Amino acid sequence: MTNGSSAPPDVTQPGPIIGPGYNYATVTDKISAIVLTSRPPKWWIFGFAGAFVLVMLLLVSVTYLFAEGIGIWGVNIPIGWGFAIVNFVWWIGIGHAGTLISAILLLLRQQWRTSINRFAEAMTLFAVSCAGLYPILHLGRPWLAYWLFPYPDTMKMWPQFRSPLIWDCFAVSTYATVSLLFWYVGLVPDLATLRDRARNRAAKIIYGILSMGWRGSAVHWYRHETASLLLAGLATPLVVSVHTIVSFDFAYGLVPGWHSTIFPPYFVAGAIYQGFAMVLTLAIPVRKLFHLEDFITARHLDNMGKVMLATGLIVAYGYMTETFMAWYSVDTFERYMMWNRMFGPYGPVYAVLILCNILIPQLLWSRKIRLHVAALFSIAMAVNIGMWLERFVIVVVSLHRDFMPSAWGMYYPTRWDYFTFFGSIGLFLSLLFLFLRFLPLISIFEMRELVSPQASTRSEGEA
Amino acid sequence: MPETDTQKRAFGRIYGLMAEFSTAEQLLEAARRTHDAGYLRIDAFSPFPIEGLAEAVGFRSTMLPLVVLVGGIIGCGTGYFLQYYAAAVSYPINVGGRPLNSWPAFIPITFELTVLFAAVSAVIGMLLMNGLPTPYHPVFNVPRFALASRDRFFLCIKARDRKFDLAQTRSFLESLHPREVSEIEV
């Protein structure tokens, strides 16, 4: 069992992407055993129970919200977009790393992605599910959410197709659908493995239905690979478009702090940054608890640390450009917005954000820290928090003081704001726990490819 | 009364013969040799995709990319004309004399629907071309076939093949040095 903190002496040589001594049979058995055990580990039961309690909290909050209306939250004029939109952008951003790992790194033939892609894709799906809740909860009349979709209705009305909010609706629903399809296509061969290996009759039937009778025929594999590559090619521009469109929700508005052309690239980089932080936040405990250190190796943590560092620097550049442009514009409102962001009533939030998103992640320059599991986990946690604060700064701090001092105000989140947020974290974790229990968290067939002698000679040049 | 081979075939009692191999290289080699020997209705099964195996069993190319392209084009057209129809035909609103067909504002949704339709066609196309879902398939009647999703590689010559003859085909498969050759019952 390799430990993450023990760095290989030769720093120029990347570590292995899989522990030594594995073959087709052992990778299959090791990953499928996690799912096919009849008794889940104790930590799973406690973890799932805890997450489920939070789901109940979400249900209570949502029920009360639907009964009372969004007045139970701290939102009011001028801050109409509070936690709901902060959380929406945060969750959707988390999803992006999953697509990056599964699609973009597939196209770039980065073999180290193999052991984390299934898991990261699942994270994408669950994060998008949480994100999708918020715009609906935030509607004053959530039962009319379907008005967002174009359908021939008796009022002879159409959605406003020139509005970024409608684009968002299309972007997020497309993203959720394509992510689900991509994930399922990758799962089919592994579900077949579970079907063949399950001893429990019910499991055999359920996995049998889900695997659709997959039998690993050469021709089927050929089409499967073609479809996966095509889906990766489609998902790559899609993921960029989704956060671009999310940023349009802001950039289209005239509010100082929103109305900026840097938003699309800066949002996309931020999303990948935070998504990788979340992958690390989840992968580090999972590899430990399931003893998967041979599959999610130090090399993976190291690489993810590097991606975080690179995207973090893009985000830092975005902050700098925003600040510079505010000064360079000689626009009273832009300059005031930036001054207020740094030294206004929410100034400390901005300070913590800079600390979490820019200063702390600079530690990742050190290889020693990238390979130190606890340090890496703490940095990832800091980035998770920092990116949430970033969205808070963008949404709330920009809104609270715009043009007219007479229209200024403050936003104080209520307990229901927090309950809904924690509830959505519970929903995310519950789905994740169920995923870990019932589906293979690492793509088994791709791991087999990785251990095949054919692949190891091929991978030398590509890795 | 024992049946002859021809009878077995005539009554459709067996689907074909299955040879089991331990490595991907052996399977690839065996598939090539089987194809060269003139067997056309063959299939190979492996726990992961093997480069060149589909070609070795006589597969030429897939139409899937074309299906995805057509899906994407349909999505693109649907996306644009949906918005054009709504904004310029069905419910035109004159906002300060701005053009009704404001195409730049229609790009995001057009793009999203292009991707959506293309992705859905990729998945449905792949499944339909592969004949999935397949609720029943004879290859699963071979008990050891469960290992095809773990660490074993299988080559199957179907009884439908013109050259198929139970005894001869079996001895041909034996000549490829498999671990085992078994009959696949229908």
What domain count does chain A have? 1
**Mean of pLDDT values over A262-276:** 92
What average pLDDT does the structure give for chain A?
A: 90
Do the chains contact at A215 and B148, CB–CB below 8 Å?
yes
**What is the mean pLDDT of the segment spanning A326-349?**
94
Proportion of chain B above pLDDT 70, given as a percent? 94
* Residue A463 placed within a domain: no
- CB-CB neighbors (< 8 A) of A193 in chain B: 47, 149-150
CB contact under 8 Å between B91 and A158, yes or no, is: yes
Span A160-193, pLDDT tens digits: 999 999 999 999 999 999 999 999 999 999 999 9
ipTM comes to 0.92
Find out whether A354 and A394 touch, Cβ atoms under 8 Å. no
CB atoms B49 and A25 under 8 Å: no
Subunit contact B112:A171, Cβ cutoff 8 A: yes
pLDDT tens digits, one per residue of A191-243: 999 999 998 899 999 999 999 999 999 999 999 999 999 999 999 999 999 99
pLDDT bracket for residue A6 (50, 70, 90): very low
At B5, the pLDDT band (50, 70, 90 cuts) reads low
Query: Closest partner residue to A223 among B62, B108, B139, by Cβ?
Result: B62
Residue-wise pLDDT tens digits, B95-151: 888 899 999 999 999 999 999 999 999 999 999 999 989 999 999 999 899 999 988
Q: pLDDT-based confidence at A110, cuts 50/70/90?
A: confident
Q: Does pLDDT of A2 surpass 50?
A: no
Distance, CA of B95 to CA of A370 (rounded, Å): 55
Nearest residue, CB atoms, B119 vs list A178, A215, A248: A178
Best mutation target among A161, A165, A243 (most B Cβ atoms within 10 Å) is A161
CATH number of the domain enclosing A98: 1.20.1630.10
Bridge pairing between strands B180-185 and B14-21: antiparallel
A5 has pLDDT over 70: no
Q: Considering only residues A111 and B178, tell me which one the structure prediction assigns the higher pLDDT.
A: B178
CATH number assigned to the domain with residue range B5-61+138-185, chosen from the 4 options 1.10.150, 3.30.70, 3.80.10, 2.60.40: 3.30.70
CATH 3.30.70 range(s) for chain B read 5-61+138-185
Question: B185: which strand partners?
Answer: B14
B111–chain A nearest CA distance, Å: 9
Which residues partner with B43 through β-bridges? Answer: B156
Q: What integer is the mean pLDDT of A324-348?
A: 94
**Residue A58, by phi and psi: left (phi above 0), alpha (psi -120 to 50) or beta?**
alpha
Please tell me the predicted confidence (pLDDT) of residue B6. Answer: 56
The predicted model gives A108-131 an average pLDDT of 89
d(CA A446, CA A451): 9
- Helix or strand (DSSP H, E) at B21: strand B14-21
A167, A188, A218 member nearest B109 (Cβ): A167
Is the per-residue pLDDT at A263 higher than 80? Answer: yes
Q: Which of A170, A178, A176, A209 is nearest to A192 (CA)?
A: A209
Give the residue from B166, B169, B180, B160 showing the smallest Cα distance to B15.
B160
Contacts of A443 in chain B (CB under 8 A): none
State the pLDDT confidence band at B4, using cuts at 50, 70 and 90.
low
**Residue B145 Cα distances to A196, A344, B39, B142, B155, angstroms:** 9, 69, 21, 5, 11
The Cα A211–Cα A192 span in angstroms is: 5
Cβ count within 10 A of residue A410: 13
3-state secondary structure of A377: helix
Cα separation, A207 vs A210, in Å, equals 5
Query: Which residues form the domain of A161?
Result: 24-458
Confidence check: pLDDT of A248 > 90? yes
Residue A413 lies in a domain: yes
* Cβ contact B157:B16 at 8 Å: yes
Q: How many degrees, rounded to 5, is the angle at CA A312 between CA A309 and CA A314? A: 115
Q: Nearest C-alpha of chain B: how many angstroms from A208?
A: 9
Nearest of B41, B51, B88 to residue A449 by alpha carbon = B51
Q: Taking CB atoms and an 8 Å cutoff, what residues of chain A touch B90?
A: 156, 158
Closest CA of chain B from A427, distance in Å: 26
CB atoms < 10 A from the CB of A19, how many?
Answer: 13
Distance CA A387, CA A369 (A): 21
Contact B91 A157 (CB under 8 A): yes
CA distances in angstroms from A303 to A6, A365, A448, A451, B80, listed in the order given: 16, 12, 22, 20, 41
B49 and A167 within 8 Å at the Cβ level: the answer is: no
The answer to whether residues A275 and A95 touch, using CB atoms and an 8 Å cutoff, is yes
| Tokens encoding A438 | 């019932």
* Nearest residue to B117 via CA among A170, A153, A120, A159: A170
